[in-house]
């Protein structure tokens, strides 16, 4: 029998890789994980975690403003970007230590360096060869900036988390969740923020009402939203830049950030030579068991470019490990994955949009409410909330819930459980509300639109 150094070799210690390695080790497999940059991957270092910390930081401006309506006199407030970034970095260092300890305690061998595949069972890191029965590629993705004159003047989300100082003004290219989240953060910090998107609305793929509502809220909060346009070139002008748009407009700005897409990290791994197939965007092709076109090599998470979210990468890792070492398979259900956008106000969404539901079912009922969150009454903050529910009339099943408003991201998790459990509108209606909350609106939706 062939003797391998390891049962499983994981490339990439991000969300998916760490979960895969720890779980496999828990089943008694001999596991190694290679990481070239930072433990925790995108989510911990340049994604979900630092992003949410910046969102919290940026919300204090509104909180201070709101305080007066509740009888508080708040002294002059100032904001120090450097101390926020230093504190954020410290928290991430703490998480690095937590992940390192967890892996070590699980018995996973951590190998630092860039990993490449040599053959179907061999990985090489810094010239050292490691053989493994199975190899998992969990190398994630990387921001991509389109080729154009002045591309060298751009930054991406990666750099935004480490800026020495905030710019006075910024142009953000993109209309997806990373673009709108950063626009919200920077605008709240007082940066003169322009969002430049080539589509006719922000957040493609989200429910149309949510897209309209969020677009208007962002404009109302002071973001300069430019739709149906794009940057064609960036010129440097003394200490600043000029972003030249395709419609002839020119915007003077301190910084240009691109959030127009991410590319799977598949280049340089030696995949093509081994016969591991990629799609046109560089994503690794896999079957339902996360197996690539080379049977001993698996791939999961963002490098497969399907649903690029941390909880999905975690679930895929667990499904793969239970397939390889467990006694029963735990396949990932890709339907009804809840998701949030941490823009201001938050978006929380699960299930079908109205348009998707109308394509799938002939009889759809829509329930909608717009309201002023209670906190905004005394605060004087003119920010509304929206809740929308999509119901199939013939079965009474709730197939989609979409929210914009304070705590939408927190509320939607419970709604995802209800939808996955097959809750009907009647179940929502017979559920007693929690009063006074925004979430109670979900059980008091009476009027069909």
Q: Can you tell me which residue has the tokens 């998107």?
A: 197
Using the rule CB under 6 A, is 140 a contact of ligand FAD? Answer: yes
Using the rule CB under 6 A, is 7 a contact of ligand FAD? Answer: no
- Span of 40-48, 60-68, 272-280, 386-394 interacting with ligand FAD by CB under 6 A: 40-48
* Nearer Cβ to ligand FAD (156/376): 156
List Cβ neighbours of 373 (8 Å cut-off, separation of 6 or more).
383, 384, 385, 405, 406, 438
Kindly tell me the sign of the dihedral angle through the C-alpha atoms of 79, 82, 85, 89.
Answer: negative
* Nearer Cβ to ligand FAD (258/367): 258
Q: Counting beta carbons within 10 angstroms of the beta carbon of residue 334, is it exposed (0 to 12), middle (13 to 18) or buried (19 or more)?
A: exposed
Least distance in angstroms from the C-beta of 161 to ligand FAD = 8
Q: Can you tell me which residue has the tokens 């493609």?
A: 204
Using the rule CB under 6 A, is 35 a contact of ligand FAD? Answer: yes
* Nearer Cβ to ligand FAD (346/379): 346
* Nearer Cβ to ligand FAD (112/228): 112
Identified binder of ligand FAD from the candidate list 21, 85, 92, 115, rule CB under 6 A:
115
Using the rule CB under 6 A, is 58 a contact of ligand FAD? Answer: no
3-class SS letters over 307-327: CCCHHHHHHHHHHHHHHHCCC
C-alpha to C-alpha distances, 144 to 36, 182, 243, nearest whole angstrom: 19, 16, 18
Considering only residues 286 through 305, tell me which ones interact with ligand FAD, judged by CB under 6 A: 301-303
Using the rule CB under 6 A, is 256 a contact of ligand FAD? Answer: no
Q: Supply the DSSP string of 273-297, one letter for each residue.
A: HHT--B-TTSPBP--TTSB-SSTTE
Query: ∠ CA 377-379-79 to the nearest 5 degrees?
Result: 150
Alpha-carbon span 172 to 233, nearest angstrom? 13
Least distance in angstroms from the C-beta of 143 to ligand FAD = 7
- Span of 2-10, 29-37, 74-82, 378-386 interacting with ligand FAD by CB under 6 A: 29-37
Joined tokens for residue 312: 């999905």
Least distance in angstroms from the C-beta of 21 to ligand FAD = 11
* Nearer Cβ to ligand FAD (13/419): 13
Least distance in angstroms from the C-beta of 14 to ligand FAD = 2
404 close to 438: Cβ distance less than 8 angstroms: no
Least distance in angstroms from the C-beta of 215 to ligand FAD = 20
* Nearer Cβ to ligand FAD (16/400): 16
Considering only residues 330 through 369, tell me which ones interact with ligand FAD, judged by CB under 6 A: none
Outline where DSSP puts E strands in 76-148: 109-112, 115-119, 122-125, 128-137, 141-143
Applying CB under 6 A, what is the total number of residues that bind ligand FAD? Answer: 36
Using the rule CB under 6 A, is 310 a contact of ligand FAD? Answer: yes
Using the rule CB under 6 A, is 16 a contact of ligand FAD? Answer: yes
Indicate if 153 belongs to the active site.
Answer: no
Using the rule CB under 6 A, is 265 a contact of ligand FAD? Answer: yes
* Nearer Cβ to ligand FAD (303/352): 303
Kindly tell me the sign of the dihedral angle through the C-alpha atoms of 353, 356, 361, 365.
Answer: positive
Identified binder of ligand FAD from the candidate list 178, 218, 386, 439, rule CB under 6 A:
178
125 close to 46: Cβ distance less than 8 angstroms: no
Neighbours of 228 (CB within 10 A): 12
Using the rule CB under 6 A, is 22 a contact of ligand FAD? Answer: no
Q: Which of 129, 153, 200, 435 is catalytic?
A: 435
Task: Using only the alpha carbons of the chain, give its radius of gyration.
Answer: 24
Helices (H) and strands (E) in the chain, counts: 13, 22
Torsion of Cα atoms, 250 then 252 then 258 then 260, to 10°: -30
* Nearer Cβ to ligand FAD (43/385): 43
Identified binder of ligand FAD from the candidate list 21, 48, 92, 276, rule CB under 6 A:
48
Least distance in angstroms from the C-beta of 308 to ligand FAD = 4
Q: Counting beta carbons within 10 angstroms of the beta carbon of residue 114, is it exposed (0 to 12), middle (13 to 18) or buried (19 or more)?
A: middle
Identified binder of ligand FAD from the candidate list 311, 337, 369, 443, rule CB under 6 A:
311
* Nearer Cβ to ligand FAD (15/193): 15
Least distance in angstroms from the C-beta of 427 to ligand FAD = 28
Q: What are the catalytic residues? A: 435
The residues of the shown chain that bind ligand FAD, judged by CB under 6 A, are: 11-17, 34-38, 41-43, 46-48, 51, 114-115, 138-140, 157, 178, 265, 269, 301-303, 308-311, 313
């Amino acid at each position: 029998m062939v003797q391998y150094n390891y049962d499983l070799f994981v490339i990439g210690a991000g969300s998916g890789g760490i979960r895969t390695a720890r779980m496999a080790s828990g089943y008694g497999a001999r596991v190694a994980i290679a990481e070239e940059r930072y433990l925790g991957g995108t989510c911990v270092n340049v994604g979900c975690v630092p992003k949410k910390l910046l969102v919290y930081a940026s919300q204090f401006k509104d909180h201070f403003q709101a305080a007066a309506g509740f009888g508080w006199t708040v002294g002059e407030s100032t904001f120090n970007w450097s101390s926020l970034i230093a504190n954020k970095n410290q928290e991430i260092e703490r998480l690095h230590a937590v992940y390192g300890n967890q892996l070590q305690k699980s018995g996973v061998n951590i190998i630092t360096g860039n990993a490449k595949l040599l053959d179907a069972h061999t990985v090489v890191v810094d010239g050292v060869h490691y053989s493994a029965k199975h190899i998992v590629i969990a190398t994630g993705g990387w921001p991509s900036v389109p080729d154009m004159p002045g591309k060298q003047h751009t930054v991406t989300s990666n750099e935004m988390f480490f800026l020495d100082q905030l710019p006075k003004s910024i142009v953000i290219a993109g209309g997806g969740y990373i673009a709108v989240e950063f626009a919200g953060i920077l605008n709240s910090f007082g940066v003169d923020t322009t969002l430049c998107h080539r589509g006719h609305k922000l957040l493609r793929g989200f429910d149309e009402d949510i897209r309209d509502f969020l677009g208007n809220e962002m404009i109302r909060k002071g973001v300069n939203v430019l739709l149906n346009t794009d940057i064609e070139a960036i010129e440097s002008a003394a200490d600043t830049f000029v972003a030249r748009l395709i419609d002839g407009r020119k915007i003077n700005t301190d910084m240009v950030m691109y959030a127009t897409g991410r590319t799977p990290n598949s280049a340089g791994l030696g995949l093509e030579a081994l016969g591991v197939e990629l799609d046109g965007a560089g994503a690794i092709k896999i079957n339902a068991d996360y197996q690539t076109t080379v049977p001993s090599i698996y791939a999961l998470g963002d490098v497969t470019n399907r649903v690029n979210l941390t909880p999905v990468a975690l679930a895929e890792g667990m499904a793969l490990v239970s397939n390889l070492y467990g006694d029963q398979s735990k396949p990932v259900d890709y339907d009804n994955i809840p998701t949030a956008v941490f823009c201001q106000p938050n978006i929380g969404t699960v299930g079908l949009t109205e348009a998707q539901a109308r394509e799938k079912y002939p009889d759809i009922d829509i329930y909608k409410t717009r309201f002023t969150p209670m906190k905004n009454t005394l605060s004087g903050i003119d920010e509304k909330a929206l809740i929308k529910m999509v119901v199939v009339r013939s079965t009474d099943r709730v197939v989609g819930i979409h929210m914009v408003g304070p705590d939408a991201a927190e509320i939607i998790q419970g709604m995802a459980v209800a939808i996955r459990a097959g809750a009907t509108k009647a179940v929502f209606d017979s559920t007693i509300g929690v009063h006074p909350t925004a979430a109670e609106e979900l059980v008091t939706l009476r009027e069909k639109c």
